[in-house]
Each structure stands twice: as structure tokens, then as C-alpha cells.
Amino acid sequence: MANNKAAPSGGSILVVGGGISGLTTTLEAAEVGYEVFLIEKNPYLGGRVSQLKQYFPKLCPPTCGLEINFRRLKDNPNINVFTMAEVEKVEGTPGNYNVSIKLKPRYVNENCTCCGECASACKTEILNEFNFNMDKHKGAYLPHEMAFPSRYVISPQIIGSEDARLCKDACKYDAVDLDMSEKTIQISVGAIVWATGWEPYDAGKIDNLGFGKYKNIITNMMLERLASDNGLTKGKILRPSDDKEPQSIAFVQCAGSRDENHLPYCSYICCMASLKHATYIRAQYPDAKIYIFYIDLRTPGYRYEKFYKKIKEDKNTFFVKGKVAEVMEESGSGNITVVAENAVTGEKIRQTVDMAVLATGMQPTALDSKLPADLNYNEDGFIINDFEKGGMFAAGCANKTADVVSSNQNATGMALKAIQTLVRR
Ligand SMILES: Cc1cc2nc3c(=O)[nH]c(=O)nc-3n(C[C@H](O)[C@H](O)[C@H](O)COP(=O)(O)OP(=O)(O)OC[C@H]3O[C@@H](n4cnc5c(N)ncnc54)[C@H](O)[C@@H]3O)c2cc1C
Ligand code: SF4
Ligand code: SF4
């Protein structure tokens, strides 16, 4: 949509969640003239996409898509962004909502130049959630190199400690404000788009796949962080237990997905994610053996099928059709054995590899933390769009499992639905 300040503006729109879907809804609505409030619970925008090394099918780094959006966001006076923000309460009806928003303190103001002196002064180290706790960062930190807004955060864990004072003293720009406190603001909007996205399914719940017991069994999202240039190993894929360069890696597809005991649905993207991961491995280890254990391979559409065919040509990538029964560690070596039954030949397979990656699926964020609004959910926790009622809509993975392209299409549609609510008022 082109920027058109003269478009009608019969109220404002609230977008909850600053991932790729929320960004898209925000920009599409703002660029035709509507005022948008975008709120994000993390200290940075970009959502899960910012944790990826590259996106399929083009394999470009997430920064290329996200940075353009951030520039559009910065240039648009119709957009009000709040990070570290969550909705507390929604009251009202379509066209007329009053929303309370809780803002958590960042303890760093807009004077921050990202010089990093506060982090150098800080002694406390805390687990780095952005890297799935595989490493630590200081109590004063930038969530990741390309974080937007590019501003440090002081963790509440060090507030009140000597470390917090050291951070403040180290800052030459008067950017550390330890007196910041939580506050609540009220806004009035005509429509709300929930773009609260997804979380990786907790692999620790899948008893037979060994996650959490053995270091060399990781998840697909952890592999993204290992392979990312701004990740804990600066992009080098290394085996977690001993930093060995892996020469064999197994992927376990449908790890917890399509399983009544876990996620009963297909997560749509994890076959493509593992195929993409095969390209990450191949780029670093030309001769490494890659084993992909699958029940069905789902690569919907022409471009994804083409991607799959290309990986299939790789002589050192082996596709094994068979449900994995167990993944375990060989004692002493740290090597991992995957046990499966080959669905084609019926034989039992035991494949020992340097490390294993569980292709875990997407669980809607709203499943475990229900949103404070009158929304309908399906049995899996995805928000159902009730277009008859209108007013509030779900975009992207808050509504269904999806890749970036489909999330963006859906988010654009929801911008239109939100605008229709305002126009019909
Ligand atoms: C291993 C893996 C690899 C993938 N690789 C690719 C790929 O290469 N190409 C591709 O097309 N797709 C890929 N995907 C899918 C892609 O990650 C999703 O399509 C995309 O993240 C969907 O974006 P979203 O904005 O809907 O959700 P998210 O990215 O989850 O964003 C949601 C945002 O909302 C925020 N939020 C949540 N709850 C609240 C709340 N209550 N209040 C405020 N904010 C909130 C979150 O912090 C987050 O920032 C991959 C997925 C996986 C699992
Ligand atoms: S808060 Fe101050 S010391 Fe820390 S990065 Fe920002 S400007 Fe530098
Ligand atoms: S996308 Fe592939 S790995 Fe993921 S749930 Fe569907 S079939 Fe299983």
C-alpha cells in the first residue's frame, strides 16, 4: 500500500505483537493514513524471524526483510511503538475499545548510543533467552546485534544491586535511569489485531527424544541460533558438548507434532526448516552426512517442492521414512543414536550421529497465556477470527501455523479488516 496521508482516519488501531505479522499489519494500516499503536512484550521488534539465520525459500538473512520494515516504521508519524508492553485489559465493543497497557521499565532512555560501557562494567551474567539459554549475557545488554529499537536494557535481576550502580556510573550519556518503574497507560482504539505469534513446542515434554537429558540433542530453533552470525558461536555449527565440528547430524521430523499427546496438528514449516538446515550444514561441512527421519515430508507449493528436490540431489543427505522411537546418547562419546523403524522396508534402524536436531513445531503463544480480551480459540489455542462480530482479529501464527509469506498475506488482510471496522463505525 502506498503512503497516503489523506485517507480517512476514523479512529486508531492497536496491533499486539511486533513480529513479522504485527509489523505488516501496522505498516499496511499506517501507510494509508490510520493511526496505529504497536505493542510488543520483548524489548525489541521482529519476533521469531529475528532469531533465524536465513529464511527459506530465498535464503536471505532476516535483516533484509526486517530492516526495510523498521525504516518504514521510523519514517511514519502515524505509528506509536511501545516495547516491553502488554495488554492488561480490553473493554468496549467493535469501533470503540478502551485498552489498558502495562509498560515494563527498560531502565535505559533514548540517550543510549549502544556504546556498551554499561555491559562492560556489569559483573552479573544471566541466561540469554534470545539464544535459548545456550549462553549468557550481562545484566546490561542489547538483546541482539540488530535489535530495533537499538537500545540497551538493564535486567530487573540486577536492579537494586551494586551492579546496577556500576552500570549507571559507566554511562557517559545519562542514559541509565534506575528510577524508571512499571506504568499503565490507557488508549482508545476502534479495532485490535492480535499478532501474538508462536512459541517453540517444549521438547522436554517428549520423553523418548532425549531433549534436556543429552546436550547433543538440540531443537531446530537452537540450530538457527548456532548457525546465525550473531549467535553464540558466531555462526559456526558446533556440537554443544565439546565444540566438535559435527560430521553427521540427524533430524527428527514431527518432533511432538501430529501427535495427540503433544501438538495434534502439522506445524507447516518444520519440514522446510530442516531442508533449509541441511543447506546451513552443507555450507560449512561439505562432506557431513545428514539423515532426515520423517513420517511425511510436507513442502507445499511449487517453490518449496523445488527446494526439496534440490536438497534430494545431495548425495550425503539421506531421507529415511520412519517414525523415530527413541533418541539417546552413547555413553562416553557424546554421540547420539536415533532408533526408528523404516516404513518402507520394515527394518529397525539404529543410526549413530554426532548430534541430533528435533524439528519441533509451533504452539500458539496464547495457549499458555490467554489474552485479556473476549476472543475465541480453537482446541489447539489458535485464535479464531469471528468476522461477523468483527473489531478484533488474529493475524499470522496467532491464527494458524504459517511461514513468513503466508503470515504477511494474512496480516495484510487483517489490516484491511481492522480498517473496515473503523470505516463502518
Ligand atoms: C525452526 C523454524 C525455522 C523457520 N524458518 C522459516 C523460514 O526460513 N522461512 C519462513 O517463511 N518461515 C520460517 N519459520 C516460520 C516463521 O518463524 C513464522 O512464519 C513467523 O515467525 C510468524 O510471524 P508472527 O509475527 O506471526 O509470529 P512471531 O514471530 O511469533 O511474532 C509474535 C510477536 O508477538 C509478541 N507477543 C506475543 N505475545 C504478546 C503479548 N501478549 N503482548 C505483546 N507482544 C506479544 C512476541 O514477543 C513476538 O515478537 C520458521 C519456523 C521455525 C520453527
Ligand atoms: S546505556 Fe549508556 S553505557 Fe549503556 S550502551 Fe547505552 S549509552 Fe552506552
Ligand atoms: S511440517 Fe513436516 S515435520 Fe512439521 S509437523 Fe508437518 S509433516 Fe511434521
Q: How confident is the model at residue 1 (pLDDT cuts 50, 70, 90)?
A: very low
Q: In the prediction, which pLDDT does 7 show?
A: 41
pLDDT at 4: 39
pLDDT, residue 425, reads: 61
Residue 193 and residue 34: Cα distance in Å, rounded? 14
Which ligand has the nearest atom to the CA of 264?
Answer: 3
Distance 110 CA to ligand 2 centre (A): 10
> What is residue 10's predicted lDDT score, i.e. its pLDDT?
53
Q: Residue 70 C-alpha to ligand 1 middle, in angstroms?
A: 16
> Which ligand 3 atom minimizes the distance to the CA of 267?
5
Instruction: Check pLDDT > 80 for residue 346.
Output: yes
Q: Which of 201, 219, 254, 297 to mutate to test the pocket of ligand 3 (most atoms within 8 A of CB)?
A: 254
10 CA distance to ligand 1 middle (Å): 30
Which pLDDT does position 370 carry in this prediction? Answer: 87
User: What pLDDT is attached to residue 320?
Assistant: 96
Q: Is 86 in the pocket of ligand 1 (CB under 6 A)?
A: yes
The arithmetic mean of pLDDT across residues 354-366, rounded, is: 97
Pocket test for ligand 3, best of 271, 272, 324 (most atoms within 8 A of CB): 271
- Residue 65: per-residue pLDDT: 87
3-class state of residue 212 by DSSP: coil
DSSP type of residue 144: S
Which ligand has the minimum distance to the alpha carbon of residue 192?
A: 1
Cα 321 to ligand 1 centre (Å): 28
Residue 107 vs residue 62, higher pLDDT: 107
Q: What is the DSSP letter of 207?
A: G
pLDDT band at 424 (very low <50, low <70, confident <90, very high): confident
Query: Would the CB of 150 count as within 6 Å of ligand 2?
Result: no
The CA-CA-CA angle for residues 207, 355, 281, to 5°, reads 130
Residue with cell 560430521: 247
Nearest-angstrom CA–CA distance, 320 and 324: 10
The type of residue at 408 is N
Q: Name 410's Cβ contacts closer than 8 Å, sequence gap at least 6.
A: 21, 395, 396, 399, 400, 402
Closest residue by Cα to residue 405 from 310, 308, 306, 304: 304
* C-alpha of residue 397 to centroid of ligand 1, in Å: 7
DSSP-assigned states of every residue in 94-138? TTEEEEEEEE---SB-TT-----HHHHH---EEE-GGGTTSSEEE
Question: Which candidate, 134, 150, 131, places its Cα nearest to that of 142?
Answer: 150
Ligand closest to CA 109 = 2
**pLDDT higher than 80, residue 314:** yes
| pLDDT at residue 327, rounded to an integer | 98
Pairing of strands 248-255, 355-360: parallel
Proportion of the chain above pLDDT 70, given as a percent: 97
Question: Relative to the CA of 274, which ligand 3 atom is closest?
Answer: 3
β-partners of residue 336 are 329, 353
Residue having the nearest C-alpha atom to atom 45 of ligand 1? 17
Mean model confidence pLDDT for the chain: 95
pLDDT at residue 62 is higher than 70: yes
**170 CB under 6 A from ligand 2?**
yes
Q: Is the pLDDT of residue 179 over 80?
A: yes
Nearest CA to ligand 3 atom 2: 271
- Percent of the chain with pLDDT strictly greater than 90: 94
Whether the per-residue pLDDT at 292 is higher than 90: the answer is yes
Question: How confident is the model at residue 5, as a pLDDT?
Answer: 42
Ligand 2: which of 106, 109, 115 to mutate, most ligand atoms within 8 Å of CB? 115
Indicate which atom in ligand 3 lies nearest the CA of residue 258.
5
Q: Which neighbouring-strand residues pair with 140?
A: 154
Is 9's pLDDT higher than 50?
no
66 lines ligand 1 (CB under 6 A): no
Look-up of cell digits 526448516: 273
Q: Is residue 2 predicted with pLDDT exceeding 90? A: no
Nearest to 289 by CA among 225, 356, 216: 356
pLDDT, residue 3, reads 37
Asked if the model's pLDDT at residue 330 lies above 60, the reply is yes
Beta strands in 275-400 (DSSP E): 289-294, 317-321, 324-329, 336-341, 348-353, 355-360, 362-364, 376-377, 383-384, 392-394
